[in-house]
């Protein structure tokens, strides 16, 4: 029983930072390939997968705004960065023979399909991985919120957030060695304690639609498959109090 994935359709959120691997900026092709291999393994087990990729490895709206740029313009630049990452992820998946479609929330006919909910569902039913680029298509949002939104629209059974660490901590575990790791949290606790794993809009959306959020380390090869079988290290955020 343990070896069977516990979810039928999931959304994986990968931060832009994860695609940098050990670099300081941009994409590390070897690391993108590694993530593609993890996705392929889960895809082969029959789980329907959609993906939201961040853009922080290339451009973040808030940093642009900090240099005096208009926030909305900077955010649109951030959204374009997520499309670059989506295409890189698609390329890595297709290299290992996983059929993949990119849908962009900002129409960009020459490089990606426009976001069409029912079409995305159909792609997954046909065994394709769907990558959602350009976040929600709106400035002042994050790709975490885009992930919660798309997971809700797609009727996903779980939202997996692949981060640098193996779960949610009460402080940054890289900086504070004594930081406490949580096995399980309620949405309410995450919001009340401002735990910072995802922004409030994303957590609220997941809560409203009863989508459990599983936080794990994408740096750990094979962790994506393990988490879906209830194995390995991750923090589960759901309704339980």
Binding site residues, ligand UDP, CB under 6 A: 15-17, 54-56, 60-62, 75, 78-79, 81-82, 135-136, 138-139, 141-143, 146
Q: Nearest approach, Cβ of 228 to ligand UDP (angstroms)? A: 21
Q: Nearest approach, Cβ of 84 to ligand UDP (angstroms)? A: 11
Element (H, E) at 165: none
Residue 71 or 229: which CB sits closer to ligand UDP?
A: 71
- The residue whose Cβ lies closest to ligand UDP is 54
Phi, psi of 120 (to 5 degrees): -65, -40
Q: Nearest approach, Cβ of 227 to ligand UDP (angstroms)? A: 18
Residue 94 or 199: which CB sits closer to ligand UDP?
A: 199
Q: Nearest approach, Cβ of 35 to ligand UDP (angstroms)? A: 14
Residue 141 or 234: which CB sits closer to ligand UDP?
A: 141
Element (H, E) at 108: none
CA dihedral for 114, 117, 120, 126, sign (positive or negative): negative
Three-state secondary-structure class, residue 93: helix
């Amino acid at each position: 029983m343990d070896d069977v994935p516990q979810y039928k359709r999931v959304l994986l959120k990968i931060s832009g930072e994860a695609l940098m691997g050990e670099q300081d900026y941009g994409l590390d092709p070897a690391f993108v390939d590694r993530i593609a291999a993890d996705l392929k393994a889960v895809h082969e087990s029959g789980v329907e997968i959609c993906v939201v990729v961040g853009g922080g490895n290339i451009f973040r709206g808030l940093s642009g705004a900090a240099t005096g740029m208009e926030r909305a313009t900077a955010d649109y630049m951030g959204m374009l960065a997520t499309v670059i990452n989506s295409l890189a992820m698609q390329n890595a998946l297709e290299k290992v023979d996983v059929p993949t479609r990119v849908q962009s929330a900002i129409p960009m006919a020459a490089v990606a399909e426009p976001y069409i909910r029912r079409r995305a569902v159909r792609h997954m039913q046909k065994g394709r991985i769907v990558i959602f680029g350009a976040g929600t298509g709106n400035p002042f949002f994050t790709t975490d919120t885009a992930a919660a939104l798309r997971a809700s629209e797609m009727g996903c059974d779980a939202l997996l957030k692949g981060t640098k660490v193996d779960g949610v901590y009460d402080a940054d575990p890289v900086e504070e060695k004594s930081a406490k790791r949580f096995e399980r949290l309620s949405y309410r606790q995450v919001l009340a304690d401002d735990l910072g794993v995802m922004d409030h809009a994303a957590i609220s959306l997941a809560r409203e639609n009863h989508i459990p959020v599983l936080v794990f380390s994408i740096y750990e090869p094979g962790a994506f498959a393990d988490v879906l079988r209830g194995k390995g290290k991750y923090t589960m955020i759901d309704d339980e109090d």
